Amino acid sequence: MQKTISPELTEKLLKMQRDELTGSLLYGKIAARQKNENNKRVFAEISRAEQGHYETWRAYTGRDVAPDRMKIALFSVLSRVLGITFTIKFFEKGEDLGLKDLRTIEQELPEARQVMADEEAHETKLMSMIDEERLHYVGSVVLGLNDALVELTGTIAGLTFALANNRLVALSGIITGVAATLSMAASNYLAQRADGNSNAIKSSVYTGIAYLLTVIAIVLPYLLLPNQMYLLAFIIMIAVVVLIILSFNYYVSVAQGLPFWKRFGEMVVISLGVAALSFAIGLAAKAILGVNVG
């Protein structure tokens, strides 16, 4: 016999049903395109688990719901761009219930907490079995990204006020950045080979790409703005640096379950600290050497 529940709880459970069905279809799509057999099996099992959750809540509401097709399409694209681990954890964050909602459900369905706890434990176990290549090289990406942010931000900050000319700053940044990219990738390759890593080439490629993309993002304001607007270019560069640090640390915090604010704060303080020091050195060097670029 179906348990009678209030209209308010029914609405909450129907929303949960929709989330579970949406997740089931999304994970089914991701499973279908996996080449790695382990990942294919895990995603297929998660999809079945989500369908089971849907049926659990349907037993209380007695109603069917339609999935969120827009969300399925969006997260399917995200999984291709940002990776499957980040995407599913980001998706699951959207499904998390607030404390108020949880208490409302438990008042009428005391058994709901145990049901949801069992479901979460099952999903966590399954997600830990996913093997995604790009997460194996997070350390290499951090190396390239962090080194580019610290080194290039500092270099360009110093050059900005020493040269006071966007084109010259951009030219110097590009030359320095490309040379540093090749140097960093080569150094990472040699270090990985020395450690006996059979994937040293891939590791160095990830490091080089992360470094080069950071260089492009940092130099771009100086290429797009007129020569005399070097102060605005500098401000935009600093904003870009903070945005890169924010985005990368959020990605890692979600994908690997690491603390966000501590890592974000450390990178911001280091990068902007070096930039501030280089800015002061640039001004001092300009004054002492009497350099005046017209």
Contact 230, 167 (CB under 8 A): no
Please give the Cα distance from 116 to 113 (Å, whole number): 5
Q: Are 46 and 54 in contact (CB under 8 A)?
A: no
Residue 177's contacts (CB-CB under 8 Å, 6 or more residues apart) are 148, 152, 211, 212, 215, 216, 218, 219
Q: How many CA atoms lie within 13 A of 249 on its CB side?
A: 17
pLDDT for res 294: 53
For the segment 68-88, the average pLDDT, to the nearest whole number, is 86
Asked if residue 19 has pLDDT above 60, the reply is yes
The DSSP secondary-structure symbol of 216 reads: H
**Phi, psi angle pair for 111, to nearest 5°:** -75, -10
Q: How far apart are CA 185 and CA 210, in angstroms?
A: 10
Please say if the pLDDT value at position 96 is more than 60.
no
Mean pLDDT of 13-29: 89
236 pLDDT exceeds 90? yes
**High-pLDDT (> 90) share of the chain, %:** 15
pTM for the model stands at 0.68
Average pLDDT of the chain is 81
**pLDDT of the residue at 122:** 63
> Has residue 104 got a pLDDT over 90?
no
Query: Which one, of 281, 272, 223, 277, lies nearest residue 243 by Cα?
Result: 272
Q: Which residue has the higher pLDDT, 133 or 189?
A: 189
pLDDT at 291: 61
Query: How confident is the model over 209-235, as a mean pLDDT?
Result: 91
Write the pLDDT tens digit of every residue in 128-165.
Answer: 667 666 666 776 777 777 778 877 887 888 788 778 88
The pLDDT confidence band at residue 219, using thresholds 50, 70 and 90, is: very high
Q: Give the tens place of pLDDT for each residue, 28-71.
A: 998 898 888 888 888 888 888 889 888 988 888 889 999 999 99
Share of the chain above pLDDT 70, in %: 85
Taking alpha carbons only, the member of 217, 221, 279, 225 closest to residue 248 is 217
Q: What count of Cα atoms within 13 Å lies in the side-chain half-sphere of residue 154? A: 15
